[in-house]
Amino acid sequence: EVSIFWFRRDLRLVDNTALYYALSSKYPVLPVFIFDPQILDKLTEKHDARVAFIHQTICDIDTQLRRTGSSLYVLHSPVLDAFKQIFENFNVREIFSNHDYEPYAILRDNQIRKLANSKGINFQTFKDQVIFERSEILKSDGSPYTVFTPYAKKWRQKYNENKPETFQSEKQLAALLKIDFKQIPSLKELGFTNLHPTLLPLKLDAETIGDYHKTRNLPGIAGTSQASPYLRFGTLSIRHLVSLAFKWNESWLNELIWREFFMMILFHFPHVVDQSFKKKYDNIPWRNNEHEFELWCKGETGYPIVDAGMRQLNEIGWMHNRVRMIVAGFLTKHLLIDWRWGEAYFAQKLIDYELSSNNGNWQWAAGSGCDSAPYFRIFNPTSQTLKFDPKLHYIKTWIKDFNKYHLVPIVEHEFARKRALDVYKKALNDD
Ligand code: FAD
């Protein structure tokens, strides 16, 4: 008889809620990871740093587990089939996992719960990737917040009233099932090229985070935590990061709250996945010029800050937040290209790709999202550069041969600004 702990986007042994509960259960714990073809097969680019990062992380976890005499059971098949196989091979009594709020994950978990329950197996899930989930932070009338500032205020109040505990799963590893599985499938066997993911180094120190409010908008220096991919795959505990934020910097805490805000929005308003949060924004007649989109993707718009951003994204799968805002605004306003195109391109490239944050921020940039800046606020790429990259540090880092960069702007700023105002105003009937 065993309990299963199913790893998903919580790839760590330390302070892992469901793992802690699994290890406290009556039975030895079989740790499982499933490479899901329903997710992997959609990735058309087979040179994928995210899959490589997941792969490397689970190999590291397996190494740690082996020190305790256990090992990770890694499967590569549709999740339902994987569980059928597990149920054939083991006498499973309980399954433990952490909540995942994305629409696909919710469907998947419902299927597994149904299968498990039909065999008399209990499937228990826990909150782990956020401090407050789903409907834990609601307005006094019981409806979800759609504006960030009052949400964040309530979030802080609730946190201070009742600080989350840590779950010392790492101290209970003796309760793992002693077993020696054969090797984990290689990246090649999974259909991906072998690559070593080079993530930006984590900058979780009192100095960087302490200065965050001064440096966060300057893309030329590493003034942010660079923690996004680690948070995405759960190699870091959000409870740990939030406790650091309370110690070191309130404005950094705000960013962690934005992350939860967008997860909450996706949970309550799943239509945002392919529609505008504010429905009338779907009346905008996007120009959707494919050639211009391609130039944007390649970083050849003739606006150095936009091009540097897109080249950083293409090269390392990450872009500084200030520049993400600039390039997203440029695509939607200057080029009048549907935010969904930009969102999909980011989804393909970002190592920290997170459906809720990507969607929320793209809609914010397009003006269609909850709590967006008003549509008539249009970034001027030149003044943004003067303000945030005046010495062109960032631009020269990512436009390698800056001396030879003589691209003519794809569209003139003032013309594009007026065109966007005009189109938005008409579509929104906003007089
Ligand atoms: P820090 O500034 O150190 O912030 C700490 C953490 O807070 C981040 O790691 C992230 O988890 C969270 N955070 C910070 N800013 C935001 C924000 N605006 N919205 C939600 N969470 C935030 N972030 C993603 O994690 N995945 C995405 O797919 C993503 N897509 C984006 C698309 C656009 C168009 C824009 C404008 C922003 C997007 N962001 C996304 C938000 C933000 O740019 C990144 O989280 C941030 O740049 C990551 O760097 P960092 O870890 O150094 O962040």
Pairing mode, strands 2-7 and 73-76: unpaired
| 345 in the same domain as 419 | yes
Query: Same structural domain for residues 393 and 285?
Result: yes
Q: Which residues are annotated as a binding site for FAD?
A: 212, 224-228, 252, 255-262
Regarding whether 341 and 419 lie in a shared domain, the answer is yes
Regarding whether 335 and 277 lie in a shared domain, the answer is yes
> Any residues with Cβ below 6 Å from ligand 1, and which?
216, 224-228, 231-232, 255-256, 258-259, 262, 321, 324-325, 328, 346, 350, 352-354, 357-358, 361-362, 365
What ipTM goes with this model? 1.00
In a domain, 179, yes or no: no
In degrees and rounded to multiples of 5, residue 122 shows phi and psi of -85, 130
pLDDT tens for the chain, 431 residues long, are 999 999 999 999 999 999 999 999 999 999 999 999 999 999 999 999 999 999 999 999 999 999 999 999 999 999 999 999 999 999 999 999 999 999 999 999 999 999 999 999 999 999 999 999 999 999 999 999 999 999 999 999 999 999 999 999 999 999 999 999 988 999 999 999 999 888 899 999 999 999 999 999 999 999 999 999 999 999 999 999 999 999 999 999 999 999 999 999 999 999 999 999 999 999 999 999 999 999 999 999 999 999 999 999 999 999 999 999 999 999 999 999 999 999 999 999 999 999 999 999 999 999 999 988 889 999 999 999 999 999 999 999 999 999 999 999 999 999 999 999 999 999 998 65
Task: Quote the pLDDT of residue 371.
Answer: 85
Look at residue 191 and tell me if it is in a domain.
Answer: no
Q: Please, are residues 302 and 407 in contact by the beta-carbon 8 Å criterion?
A: yes
Q: What order do you get walking across the sheet with 122-126 strand by strand? A: 73-76, 29-35, 2-7, 92-98, 122-126
Chain Cα centroid distance, residue 360: 11
Q: Give pLDDT, residue 208.
A: 97
DSSP string, 243-308: HHHHHH-HHHHHHHHHHHHHHHHHHH-GGGGTS-SSGGGGG------HHHHHHHHHT-SS-HHHHH
Cα-Cα-Cα-Cα torsion 341, 344, 346, 350, nearest 10 degrees, comes to -170
DSSP summary character for residue 331: I
- 356/376 Cα distance (integer angstroms): 24
Residue 412 is assigned to a structural domain of this protein? yes
- Indicate the burial class of 144 (C-beta count within 10 angstroms; 0-12, 13-18, 19 or more): middle
Domain boundary among 218, 234, 268: 268
Q: What's the number of domains the chain is made of? A: 3
Of 43, 203, 213, 16, which Cα lies nearest the Cα of 97?
16
Q: Cα(64) to centroid of ligand 1, in Å?
A: 30
Are residues 103 and 89 part of one domain? yes
Closest alpha carbon to 128 in 238, 243, 266, 4: 238
- From residue 277, how far is each of 90, 221, 344, 360 by CA, in Å? 45, 34, 17, 9
Distance CA 229, CA 50 (A): 9
Task: Kindly state whether residues 263 and 378 are assigned to the same domain.
Answer: no
- What is the predicted pLDDT for the residue at 197? 85
* End position of a domain, from candidates 268, 292, 308: 268
**pLDDT score of 431:** 56
Task: Report how far residue 425's alpha carbon sits from residue 420's, in angstroms, rounded to the nearest whole number.
Answer: 8
Mark whether 327 and 316 lie in a shared domain. yes
Nearest atom in ligand 1 to 200's CA = 52
Domain housing 416: 273-428
Whether residues 102 and 26 share a domain: the answer is yes
CATH number where 316 lies: 1.10.579.10
Going from the Cα of 256 to the center of ligand 1, the distance in angstroms, rounded, reads 9
* Whole-model pTM over 0.80: yes
Residue that is last in its domain, among 217, 252, 268? 268
Residue of 232, 266, 357 to test ligand 1 pocket, by largest number of atoms within 8 Å of CB: 357
Q: State the closest ligand 1 atom to the C-alpha of 342, by its place in the atom list counted from 1.
A: 34
Nearest CA to ligand 1 atom 48: 228
Q: Say which amino acid occupies 144.
A: P
CA 350 from chain centre, in angstroms, equals 9
Strands 92-98 and 73-76: unpaired
Examine the domain organization and report whether 38 and 115 are in the same domain: yes
Per-residue pLDDT at 16: 98
Q: CA–CA separation, 27 vs 99, rounded Å?
A: 22
Q: Is residue 146 part of a domain?
A: yes
Q: Is 220 helix (H, G, I), strand (E, B) or coil?
A: coil
Look at residue 175 and tell me if it is in a domain: no
**Phi–psi pair at 58, nearest 5 degrees:** -70, -30
Residue 72, domain member (yes or no): yes
Please give the distance, rounded to the nearest whole angstrom, from the Cα atom of residue 116 to the centre of ligand 1: 36
Q: Is residue 177 one of the residues assigned to a domain?
A: no
Check whether residue 118 and residue 143 sit in a common domain: no
pLDDT score at 276: 97
Q: Count CB neighbours of 425 within 10 A.
A: 13
> What is the structure's pLDDT at 233?
98
228 CA distance to ligand 1 centroid (A)? 6
83 Cα to the center of ligand 1, angstroms:
34
Atom 42, ligand 1: residue with shortest CA distance: 321
Is the same domain home to 349 and 230? no
∠ CA(369), CA(361), CA(11), 5° rounding? 130
- Residue 157 belongs to some domain of the structure: yes
**Which residue, judged by its Cα, is nearest atom 45 of ligand 1?**
228
**Residue 4 bridge partners (DSSP):** 30, 95
Spatial CA neighbour of 221 closest among 235, 239, 200, 194:
200
392-198-35-42 Cα dihedral, nearest 10 degrees: 30
Whichever domain contains 109, its CATH number is 3.40.50.620
Shared domain for 294 and 207, answered yes or no, is: no
